[in-house]
Structure 1
Amino acid sequence: MPSQAVLRALGERVKLGILVFNGRFEVSIANKLVRELFGVDEQGAAALARNLEALLPPFALPQSRETGTWTGSLPIGERVITVHLHHHAEGGNEAFLAMFQQLEGPEDYERELQQRHAELRQAYLRLNGTQEKLLQSEKMASIGQLAAGVAHEINNPIGYVHSNLGSLQEYLRSLFTVIESYERALRAPDPKALIHEIDDIRSRLDIDFISRDLPQLMAESREGIERVTRIVRDLKDFSYSGRDESWKLVDLHAGLESTINIIWNELKYKVTLERRYSELPMIECLPSELNQVYMNLLLNAGHAIADRGNIVVSTGVDGDEVWVEFQDDGAGISADLRQRIFDPFFTTKPVGSGTGLGLSISYGIINKHHGRIDLESTVGEGSRFRVVLPIRQPK
């Protein structure tokens, strides 16, 4: 293996600035070109790593530790220098190799700019894809937490529809018995002789009750099937990934009702829900993403209520904006927590009860819609979240 003296000698011949230092920023190699770029002599080269740390963006060293490399540009005086930073760790020790290249002319600047643009675009695409995956994961996590309640909401109507079908089967058997008795009477030589038998069958099978109960039974069954259909449709709309969803004009109240329908089993045992809807215009938005916001705010309001309480959902118009408000009379949020509730992964719930992403994702969705979320809260009295949205998105 070459000695450090040999490596230094080789570094002097390289047409790039070379700086090698360890995790304590102790320099082992600083070639002539890098000393010239930073304007130091051999004695001053020992401080180059510390100077470099101050010049680099704060994420450069962590990124190089995580991925093994970082590339960027540094302005030094009136010059722009390209930096390639590489990291290696072994046996608890780490080393960094920084290579510097000065951009000389317009062609270099343009080439460097195009490269940075391509890298930024790739980073943006990765970030955008990650955000979509995070949003979808939070949706699925929310539905997972509500799975038992949704199953209960579906099982209830399915249960009485199944029971009604059993009753309907008995009713049909009785009606067919009466029909058969009428058919026998029509074929008999003396139909009047069977009238008493037919009346006895009608009384025994309680046909008068069946004729009254049958329409009600069918109406209940139809209502139950429609309820299941509505829940399944709302679940499908809510869980839609939104990757190909376009901006469209929608009725916000329809989205609110759809979301309430999904989560109602989670709230109905301790919450009295009051709707104070105003007349709203059609809003330009991404409806699936707004439904995610409604769900997060409604569930948070429900979780803030310990035993029994009220949630008021209000809507209104203010100039060229609309607002949707969720007010609860729960525990409220202290001033120090209000500063952090929109931070990713911050949660006041017990471990395992929440991801800490609900309000953070909601904030991002509303920001994408060029809106805002206003919060007013008093400890012991409750909280009020107001979502403000433009009626039309800015061009």
Structure 2
Amino acid sequence: MALSCVEEGVCLHEPDGRLMYANPAAEALLRAQPRWAETHGRLEHLVPMQALHDARAHGCWSDSIAFLSGHTLEARLHWLGADAGRFLLLLRDGGATRSEDDQELQLRHEELNVRFNAAQEQLLQSEKLASIGQLAAGVAHEINNPIGYVHSNLGSLQEYVGNLFALIDVYERAMRAHDPHSMRTEIDDTRERLDVDFISRDLPQLLTESRQGIERVTAIVRDLRDFSRSDREHAWRLADLHAGLDSTINIVWNELRYKATLEKEYGTLPMIECLQSELNQVFMNLLLNAGQAIDEEGVISVRTGHEPGQVWVEIADTGGGIPAEAMQRIFDPFFTTKPVGKGTGLGLSISYGIVAKHHGRIEVESTPQTGSRFRVILPVRQPQPGGDA
């Protein structure tokens, strides 16, 4: 291959950051760096996440990459979106920074990276809580509705129990009187007056409805708890994506129900290795965006499928679509096509970061006035350290 003779380091990466090819010069430049061995050459661990956004938005990003060893590489990142939808990373030796000041600068740079990652995690958690805050009125309605009829049913239950105790009291008095004819007459009159026949029919249904209402409230609270918790203290584990989708839909449903019809087409999915609450954040962002894209009435479709080694979740809407000039910027932080006050511009950017963290990718198709389709593609198992890129 001609690139094997080029002195400049050349790396070709998939849209999700996976390394496709590195020429010998690139391998020589990077092999000695810890990140190269530990991350299998993934792009987001070689350059800042902002570099990926800038390359997508402007076609190119350039800066130096610094390592703890004090070594620097001059890097240029090109987005080949119009061609193959891949990243091209070009590297040159920037030399070693040997002064104590430069070493201190490198250490501070690494420290800032650690702080930046912590800030990103805090931002993710804040965005989760902000999303729940945005949906608070709808969630309150979803809880108040079953609580309302449980409260009403308890009032009826109290009356029914009083009537039944009154009938039992008549039985006891009649038994003490030892007058069968009088006993039968008083019991029949009491049963009719208290409408005991109706109580016997209505009481089981009342209890069933109340139990369902309590179970509904329990499910909503559980979904909120699972969604809002941080995964920082939780290890990667096998999870059911369908369960995560359903719990997220339960949380956002009141926001969607008045303008959209929901269509679900679930395939058969294996359990996947992931941080489920973070993926639930992705699903919530995509569902809310789909709902906001629909002005009056439309359809939101949620589909899932399984291919060798990976699964996909697709959320589509019949809304207004994304303008062509905005497509290259939709994953940029703080970029939004929504009116002022309707969005922070962080939802898709955070979703992109979460999916990249899971070694996956997001594919987007949109047609103005027809709708948009976002497909999240995830590996079934996360790459293991020391494995192939």
TM-score scaled by structure 1? 0.71
CA distance in 1, matches of 2:246, 2:98: 56
**What is the identity, as a one-letter code, of the residue corresponding to 1:216?**
Q
AA in 1 matched with 2:326: L
Do structure 1's residue 363 and structure 2's residue 352 form an aligned pair?
yes
Once structures 1 and 2 are overlaid, which stretch shifts more, 252-261 or 332-341? 332-341
Instruction: Name which of 306, 310, 313 aligns with 1:317.
Output: 306
1:268 match: 257
Quick check: 1:219 aligned with 2:208?
yes
The within-5 A match list for 1:141-220 is 141-220=130-209
Query: C-alpha distance in 2, partners of 1:113/1:180?
Result: 93
* Aligned-pair CA distance for 1:119: 2.2
Give the whole-Å Cα distance in 2 for the aligned partners of 1:175 and 1:388: 60
Partner SS for 1:386: strand
The aligned runs of 1:115-130 (5 Å cut-off) are: 115-116=104-105, 118-130=107-119
* Amino acid in the other structure paired with 1:275: K
Residue 287, structure 1, aligned to residue 276, structure 2: yes
Match of 1:93 in 2: none
RMSD: 2.1
- How far residue 116 of structure 1 moved from its aligned partner, in angstroms, is 4.9
Larger Rg: 1
Offset, 1:189:
2.4
**Is 1:352 aligned with 2:352?**
no
> How far apart are the structure 2 equivalents of 1:300 and 1:73?
35
- Give 1:1-395 correspondences, 5 Å limit: 109=98, 115-116=104-105, 118-395=107-384
1:339-382 alpha-carbon deviations (Å, 9 max, x no partner): 11111011111211111100000000000000000000100110
| AA partner of residue 250 (structure 1) | A
CA shift for structure 1 position 110:
8.9
Q: State the AA in 1 paired with 2:288.
A: L
- Is the 2:175–2:183 contact (alpha carbons within 8 Å) kept by the matching residues of 1? no
Q: Is the 8 A contact 2:239 2:271 kept in 1?
A: yes
Closer, same or farther: CA 202–245 of 1 in aligned 2, 3 Å: same
Q: Residues 73 and 141 of structure 1: is their aligned pair in 2 closer, same or farther, counting only changes over 3 Å?
A: closer
User: Partners of 2:305 and 2:225 in 1: how far apart?
Assistant: 28
Q: Is the 8 A contact 2:265 2:304 kept in 1?
A: yes
In 2, distance between residues paired with 1:267 and 1:176? Answer: 47
The 2-side partners of 1:73 and 1:266 are apart by 44
Q: Distance in 2 between matches of 1:117 and 1:180?
A: 87
Structure 2 distance, partners of 1:117, 1:297, is 38
Q: Find the aligned partners of 1:200 and 1:122 in 2 and give their Cα distance.
A: 85
Q: In structure 2, give the amino acid aligned to 1:237.
A: D
1:266 corresponds to which letter in structure 2?
A: E
Q: Which has the higher contact order (CA 8 A, sep 6+)?
A: 2
- Measure the CA separation in 2 of the matches of 1:291 and 1:119: 34
Give distance in 2, aligned partners of 1:183 and 1:295.
60
**Same amino acid, percent of matched pairs:** 67
Q: Which runs of 5+ in 2 are unaligned?
A: 1-63, 73-95, 385-389
2:344 aligned partner, one-letter code: T
Note the alpha carbon deviations across 1:310-334, whole angstroms, 9 max, x for none. 0110000111110000011110112
Structure 2 CA distance, aligned partners of 1:186 and 1:123?
Answer: 86
Equivalent-residue separation in structure 1 for 2:106 and 2:176 (angstroms): 93
Answer yes or no: is the 8 Å Cα contact 2:316–2:373 preserved in 1: yes
CA distance in 1, matches of 2:250, 2:269: 20
Counterpart for residue 49 of structure 1: none
Q: CA offsets, 1:9-55, max 9 Å, x none? A: xxxxxxxxxxxxxxxxxxxxxxxxxxxxxxxxxxxxxxxxxxxxxxx
Structure 2: how far apart are the matches of 1:218 and 1:269? Answer: 30
SS in 1 for 2:262: strand
Q: Which amino acid in 2 is paired with 1:383?
A: S
Amino acid of the structure 2 residue aligned with 1:339? Q
Give the equivalent residue in structure 1 for 2:75.
Answer: none
Check whether the contact 2:226–2:277 (CA below 8 A) recurs between aligned residues: yes
Count residues with an aligned counterpart: 294
| One-letter amino acid of the structure 2 residue matched with residue 328 of structure 1 | D
Stretch moving more, 205-214 or 111-120: 111-120
Secondary structure of the corresponding residue to residue 259 of structure 1: helix
**Residue 339 of structure 1 aligns to a residue in which SS?**
helix
| Alpha-carbon spacing, 1:247–1:307, altered in 2? closer, same or farther (3 Å) | same
Please state how far the C-alpha of 1:113 moved relative to its aligned partner.
Answer: 7.5
Distance 2:102 2:195 in 1: 88
Query: Structure 1 segments of 4 or more deviating over 4 A?
Result: 110-114
